[in-house]
Structure 1
Amino acid sequence: MPAELLIGIDVGTYSSKGVLVNLQGEVLRQHVIPHGISMPAPGHVEQDADAVWWADTLSILKELLSGPYSGADVAGVACSAIGPTLLPLDEAGRPLRPGILYGVDIRAQDQIEALNREIGEATILAHSGMALTSQAIGPKIRWLREHEPEIWARTRTLTTASSYLTYRLTGQHVMDHHTAAHTMPLYDPKARTWTYQFALPVLGDKDLEALPRLAWGDEKAGEVTPEAAALTGLRAGTPVAVGTVDALSEAISVGVSQPGDLMVMYGSTTFFVLVQDTPTPDSRVWSVGGAFAPQHNLAAGMSTTGSLTRWIADELARELPTDQAYDALFREAAAVAPGADGLLLLPYFSGERTPINDTRAKGVIAGLTLSHTRAHLFRAALEGVGFGIRQNIEAFRDLGADVRRIVAVGGGAKTRTWLQIVSDISGEAQELPAVTVGASYGDAFLAGLAAGLLKRGDLQSWVKISDTVQPNTEMRAGYDRLYELYHDLYTQTRPTVHALGDLAEAGRGG
């Protein structure tokens, strides 16, 4: 019997997930492994490539390829992971340090400012189609070169999380165009190649050969090597797709594949992917390559959303069993009136990415009184995220991007209370897919494409919409006023929270 099953594996910020599916998109097996992150210094967020990314991948494959299934049944594999993330490798392909995570890691602010001075902000925007932010890998490469010279001297390859997993499976260093666009200013989005034009300020003594070769996420990166087969249970020679970042695979998993489709992913952070025929560069958001040639994506991301609700659960609901805390908090929040009785929260607990791009932003809670409860605070957090989502969607439309429909995905999208709050705040309907397995499901589809067993049009039969959250128009006026105050609160408190951050840094001896 020919191999006709597909495996998708996604390594996220707080968990990894794998699925085994057939060619019709039916999920046969799935497995989830929780994990954590490391924050060795303020603003530094890391994960271990082997102890987390690769170890989770091996455990997931062992679970999926047990019972009635084996590697002989698998026709293709694809991996996605948190990104864009920086991982330096030595000449043997071994990680030299933990991976430096995406935009939640804000260590490279000095390097962003230096590159803007040396190259010019306008020049970078014109070249890359977006401004340097904490999401960019280029400044983090320079940080590595300046702050860890011993590791830099041993570095032979600069890769990212999904590319590392593909490398462990195939022995090939490959990066997809979506991720490469964030390796700015080393990537030329017009030519879709690496470029030496601005390489010197970033790479110093290294050349572009330190970067993986470029391809699209649905292309074949290589085949499972005999060494990887022995470790994973996969059959040597099994096709492996190039893969991509988790957010883009998540978009594929729910059918966000046509121009005008926008995915809003409610995860530890909130991520936005809008499919475009032609790019619309802007300094507020990210203009990157799409999942499939020759598409483009307009992408954006908030820094602290699901991780904010987790913080509240961890710090303010310790008496609740872990498996019950979120349900209880959402029930409490649903009983609080819109506006949380005059409580307003800025969800910038890890700085903020788009559209304000302020790594020094901080969380602010305004309007507290003795009558406010934990339920009010949780409601205000959900609304604060809602205001940030509205702000990003409005930024897309302000620059002329076409947003035709919105699909909501992720762990937060399983909670009707939060979805209704966001729709009421933004005035936008949100479609809900019938199957919400996550990015690993999109990876399985990429695996089928890379193996030559699926066509892009097959995605329509894989994904069905089961429900739509419609905005309550009666809530709009009140939320419009709170949205104005949300903007004002950030503008008016920005100098204060920046100064507080400086004091905290000085107190730590920074």
Structure 2
Amino acid sequence: MSDVVLGVDIGTSSSKGVLVDPAGKVLASETREHHVDRPHPGWVEMDGGIWWEEFAAISRALVHDGDNVTAVGVSGMGPCVLLTDDGGEPLRPAILYGVDTRATAEIAELTRRFGGDEAILDRCGSALSTQAVGPKLAWVDGHEPDAMAKARRLFMPSSWLVYRLTGSYVLDHHSASQCTPLYDTDARQWYEPWAGDIAPHLDLPPLVWPTDIAGNVTAEAADETGLPEGIPVIAGTIDAWSEAVSVDAQNPGDLMLMYGTTMFLVHTVEQRVSTANLWGTNGAFEGTRSLAGGMATSGGITGWLKELFGSADYPELLLEAGQSGPGAQGLLMLPYFAGERTPIADPDARGVVAGLTLSHGRGDIYRAALEATALGVRHNIESMEAAGGSIERIVAVGGGTQGDLWTQIVSDITGREQLVPSKTIGASYGAAYLAGRAADASCAADAPTGSSVPYAASGPGVDIATWNPPSHTVTPNPGLRQDYDELYDLYRQLYPNTQAVQHTLARRQHRLSNATDTRSTA
């Protein structure tokens, strides 16, 4: 029998799993696509039961006789809010991470109640925003009090999978550090005064590190998934941090740039860096710190455009976007189609396409979308460095790295090189790597629950740089720098110059949605 590890990630648009051997070779992979629910503008939800159903289906598809699965790694989108009763039964759909912007009133109220942005930033590493868990809990309490009254446990996709696999109710420290304002990032523990104020009846989970063994596969879970009973399951973490691990971008000075449904940036810093327009968090490994940013959408816009354009497929659209050329024939887009997270933290921002004429085609619009995300990446990078970050190396990962156009546009607009690794599978591969460390001789499969895998673990197959060496480097074209600098200046002007109109339209959208909801329930 051959030793393998299983890594599974629950993402925004799909769940992905990989079966990996001790040398890092992907032996098999499996994907299950899904959709999130958007019942109102600003709401983004998902049935948490789908996470387990898709994990079980992926596991059964990947694991066969002859595979000696030595450990399981998990990760998932986050921070999310899945509330259950004390028996682990979900009480409502999970509220997703910062793309769900419903809790704007709660953000303002909790910020006032707890002493303002600076007080929260000092204790939690991040100010309150749509990314934070606390305001979402307060929203449920205010709008669905019956559900909150029954709520006893808080899960995210990775911790939900751990619970269903092992029965252990835990959360990793990185995920907890995005539960602002419930968690103290310096003390590395729940901050009871604020947690008790927001959700007094919630039994917050014990805290572990992503590399800790959270428990072992139960007999019931083994029957549902086809996994062997008793194998260890690591705690895992939020997908972007698992993705950073997957491409060896978790060292000080590294920036992981994740091309996905949303664009996400994780910069590993030497010591804590805090600023109100980005997220300061614990890293994936004990003792590490991150400064992170995330756009509300990126690949989501390209997918939306593909649907609007009907029969066009991605290769065709990329070809036409390439033919459009730098500057998209005079178009400029703001990519705020789902509000925006960092660095403007404006849930009522809206998408703008400026410069349209009757001569523009779909390739020009698609090119403008790719450039818009690159302009947003530059804005985030500049914000990170202004806050005290020091970016020395950028590593690109995710589905958007397939093909050369999008990554080249990002390098051209930011003026930064990007290293593209051999494998850009993403978070599921990072989860498999962390599981592989748990199965290494330094942390045998029979290690007790809660034992930690040291970051410097050694042995065959535990070096991620060996698992996933560099493939190539994307280098910016210096001949485009002046034109793109001018476009970036226009980009930075376009948002403040249209903000009032965007907000007025957002209010109209909310009113229309509420009116429709009232009619549908009359």
Question: TM-score, normalised on structure 2?
Answer: 0.93
1:458 to 447, 455, 463: 463
**1:224 and 2:223 equivalent?**
no
Q: How big is the shift at 1:453?
A: 4.1
1:394-473 → structure 2 map (5 Å cutoff) = 394-453=382-441, 455=457, 458-473=463-478
* Consecutive unaligned residues in structure 2, runs of 5 or more: 443-456, 516-522
**1:39 and 2:32 equivalent?**
no
Q: How big is the shift at 1:458?
A: 1.6
Q: How big is the shift at 1:338?
A: 1.1
Q: How big is the shift at 1:211?
A: 1.3
**1:118 and 2:113 equivalent?**
yes
Q: Summarize the Cα distance change of 1:389–1:453 in structure 2 as closer, same or farther, 3 Å threshold.
A: farther
8 A contact 1:287–1:298 mirrored in 2: yes
2:143 to 141, 147, 151: 147
| Separation (CA, whole Å) in 2 of partners of 1:470 and 1:235 | 46
Q: How big is the shift at 1:177?
A: 1.2
Number of the residue aligned with 2:253: 260
Number of the residue aligned with 2:86: 91
8 A contact 2:76–2:239 mirrored in 1: yes
**1:133 and 2:129 equivalent?**
yes
2:187 to 167, 187, 191: 191
SS at match of 1:407: strand
Q: How big is the shift at 1:135?
A: 0.5
| Separation (CA, whole Å) in 2 of partners of 1:277 and 1:242 | 24
Number of the residue aligned with 1:352: 340
Residue type at the aligned position of 1:97: R
**1:273 and 2:266 equivalent?**
yes
SS at match of 1:480: helix
Number of the residue aligned with 2:445: none
Superposed CA deviations along residues 171-224 of structure 1, whole A, max 9, x for unmatched, are: 011111111011111101001000113224411x325xx111111101110111
| Separation (CA, whole Å) in 1 of partners of 2:402 and 2:417 | 15
Residue type at the aligned position of 1:191: A
| Separation (CA, whole Å) in 2 of partners of 1:28 and 1:376 | 39
Identity %: 46
Q: How big is the shift at 1:226?
A: 1.4
| Separation (CA, whole Å) in 1 of partners of 2:141 and 2:441 | 43
| Separation (CA, whole Å) in 1 of partners of 2:272 and 2:66 | 43
| Separation (CA, whole Å) in 1 of partners of 2:334 and 2:196 | 38
**1:291 and 2:284 equivalent?**
yes
**1:170 and 2:158 equivalent?**
no
1:340-379 → structure 2 map (5 Å cutoff) = 340-379=328-367
1:318 to 310, 329, 336: 310
Number of the residue aligned with 1:65: 63
| Separation (CA, whole Å) in 2 of partners of 1:69 and 1:471 | 47
Superposed CA deviations along residues 234-274 of structure 1, whole A, max 9, x for unmatched, are: 11110000000111111111111211111100000001111
Number of the residue aligned with 1:53: 51
**1:305 and 2:298 equivalent?**
yes
Residue type at the aligned position of 1:230: D
Q: How big is the shift at 1:9?
A: 0.4
| Separation (CA, whole Å) in 1 of partners of 2:311 and 2:26 | 36
Q: How big is the shift at 1:276?
A: 2.0
| Separation (CA, whole Å) in 2 of partners of 1:368 and 1:53 | 41
8 A contact 1:115–1:201 mirrored in 2: no
SS at match of 1:167: helix
| Separation (CA, whole Å) in 2 of partners of 1:398 and 1:189 | 22
* Consecutive unaligned residues in structure 1, runs of 5 or more: none
Superposed CA deviations along residues 83-139 of structure 1, whole A, max 9, x for unmatched, are: 110000112111111111001000111100110111122211111111111110110
Residue type at the aligned position of 1:496: V
8 A contact 1:220–1:451 mirrored in 2: no
Range that drifts further, 143-152 or 353-362: 143-152
1:210-221 → structure 2 map (5 Å cutoff) = 210-221=203-214
Question: TM-score, normalised on structure 1?
Answer: 0.95
Residue type at the aligned position of 2:99: V
Range that drifts further, 224-233 or 327-336: 224-233
8 A contact 2:151–2:201 mirrored in 1: no
| Separation (CA, whole Å) in 1 of partners of 2:428 and 2:260 | 14
Q: Summarize the Cα distance change of 1:122–1:256 in structure 2 as closer, same or farther, 3 Å threshold.
A: same
8 A contact 2:41–2:513 mirrored in 1: no
8 A contact 1:11–1:17 mirrored in 2: yes
| Separation (CA, whole Å) in 1 of partners of 2:278 and 2:513 | 32
8 A contact 2:149–2:201 mirrored in 1: no
Number of the residue aligned with 1:480: 485
